[in-house]
Chain A
Amino acid sequence: MKENPGDNRPSPAERLAIYERMLLIRRVEERLGADFKAGKLIAGVHLYSGQEAVGVGVCQHLRDADWIASNHRGHGHFLAKGGDVRAMMAEIHAKVTGVCKGMGGTMHVADLSKGILGANGIVGGGISLICGAAYSQSLQGDGGVSVAFFGDGASTQGVMSEALNLSALWKLPMIFICENNLFSEFSRSDTVVAGRIVDRAGAYGVPGVQVDGNDLDAVWAAASQAVQRARNGEGPSFIEAFTYRMSGHVEAETGFLQGAKYRSEEEVQSWVERDPIQRQRAQLLSTQQATLDQLTDIEARVLAQVEDAVQFAIDSPPPPPEQALQFMFA
């Protein structure tokens, strides 16, 4: 949680918390990637590695009562918004202790008690939900904010334009976060997306900015403005954050693509050099906001947390058979 609304940069204490959260997401995703390759996961996972600065940089401004909706690449948003890592890991492992009791899995991690409306298997599917949550918040008048995370691939769904139109007209406290990771699944987005995505917002009178999504400070500052604007009842904002998925679209792809390539090793490497976590780490050390010992402690704590979550998931039972017919109706 941000200490001083209006600040354009996180405080040293916040910066350490941010670093730890970003690192937790990375280590979780790395572990999932490794476990998938080792045949220990039941399904392919869409990893958030490389995009952590966006999810964490935005969610640090949010409260439990604020809503987010996420997409198929949703583990990072879930953890960034304060979701429990054990409950998420158990969900991915299809266990009854999972945050959704094993009914949703990796593409549907949701914790409504923490304002996480859920990851979503439909590209663009969360945008309309968040627009509705924002409408509800605007009627409740409690300064709540609703944030839709989606990618460049979802920007070509009609619902994004519909939501820009309505949220602008109704001045909803909605924030559009377009994580432009340059790929719509396996297609380069410059082959399927015309023009600049952020310009769609401008057409509806919604303020939009482009930021370096691998620069925590840039995301932080843009999100701070957007959240303040929403809380003040001034309407929606749009942030296009350029970033890159260090893993592929989905961990199963090396199998089904059968060696077919859609991006070069050089390109991946160029983005690895812009790793948002390494950038934070270097900044923390160079500005003496953290010591190497502190960062080593954080690293150890995060790894222990991930190990604990995986062990919790492995030790948990699967859902009981009768659960297959539960939960359809309230």
Chain B
Amino acid sequence: MAKKRIIQAINEALVEEMTRDERVILFGEDVEISLFGDTRGLSQRFGPSRIRNTPISETLITGMALGAAAAGHRVVAHMMFANFTYTGFDSIANQAAKLRYMTGGQARLPVTYVAAYGGGRSIAAHHSDTPYPLLMNLGGIRVAVPATPEDAKGLMKSCIRSDSPSFFLEAGGRGGEMGEVPDGDYVTPWGKAAVRCTGGDVTVVAIGSMVKLAMAAAEVLRNEHSIHVEVIDPRTLVPLDEDCILSSVEKTGRLVLVDESRDSCSAASHIAAIVADKAFGSLRAPIRRVTVPDVAMPYAPNLERLVMPSVERIVATIQQLKDSRP
């Protein structure tokens, strides 16, 4: 065990996977210099044939990744900011998500799309989106949203070793956060949520960088209001660990979802629907969602803080819920 930054953990995963399997290649815009630091140093280490800057051509990059994978490589396509995947979305929605199904299981497509998502840095609406609801709706894409350095490393490895297209969404601007990373080779499994803290009063499912806020809120509630929150980090949204969420709700009877995507058809809405379907009898209060309203991410910091989920909003939502009686 050693303390590492999230971005270091991702970098380590890439180095280890590229060392382990020479079929792993990585390309994307400015990956050689690396804006975020996740791919920094790789081109010196593995050479220009395995790490390559592409032109600014997202429509091409997303499809190229699939073609190179079909032809035998394991591909990491770095999309930089999640919003840029929209430019390349044709090959994600029409090819990546469907090729295996349409070919009756012939296509093996080990592709990892990497993108930084989320707001909070005043870089406005074209660099702050949280696109996993769209990806979840495609059906054929695995989606990993790590919250800790340990899972960032383990999930990157799981993505690269997956024979299905996957998205690795790293929280933009949070690469500097520290956490313990186990020594040696390990993978974080698909569809296995982590219970970040246990509690009997309210279940909070928080996604990606929202886990940190949920944990802070849990501490406030425990210390100041004697409310014991169970925080669940799904870690992967496709596949989703329904069992973990349902069994927690069966215990607590209350569910709050913290998700920094826009509210309509968010991951939070999807999980709320599952729980309403499958654990309705256990619920002692309405399911509440702490999300971003259906707006583009504003530039002004005061407005951005207002629309993003915050510790205060989570605390207030949970307090209201705890006070409500069935």
Which residues in A have some Cβ–Cβ distance to B below 8 Å? 67, 69, 98-104, 108, 110-113, 117-118, 121-122, 125, 127-137, 139-140, 144, 146, 158-159, 162-163, 165-166, 169-170, 326-330
Contacts and interface: CB of A to CB of B under 8 A. Distances in A.
A324 B268 CA distance: 27
B106 A135 contact: no
Nearest to A132: B67
B67 A122 contact: no
Interface string B194-235: 000000000000000000000000000000000000000000
A327 B71 CA distance: 19
Contact of A108 (B64, B103, B109, B142): B103
Contacts of A133: 67-68, 70-71
Contacts of B63: 125, 127-129, 131-132, 159
B256 to A, nearest CB: 30
A128 B102 contact: no
A99 B104 contact: yes
Interface stretch (B53-61, B171-179, B240-248, B311-319): B53-61
Contacts of B108: 330
B50 to A, nearest CB: 8
A285 B64 CA distance: 45
A137 B163 CA distance: 19
B71 A328 contact: no
A215 to B, nearest CB: 30
B107 A112 contact: yes
Classify chain B: how many residues form its interface, as a range.
35 or more
B67 A117 contact: yes
Interface stretch (B12-20, B87-95, B152-160, B283-291): B87-95
Contacts of A330: 100, 108-109, 162-164
A112 B64 contact: no
A127 B64 CA distance: 9
A42 B95 CA distance: 23
A125 B164 CA distance: 19
Contacts of B106: 100, 110-113
A102, A110, A140, A146: most-surrounded residue (chain B CB, <10 A)? A110
Contact of B60 (A100, A117, A163): A163
B204 to A, nearest CB: 29
A267 to B, nearest CB: 33
Given A103-B104, A128-B62, A165 B55 contact: yes
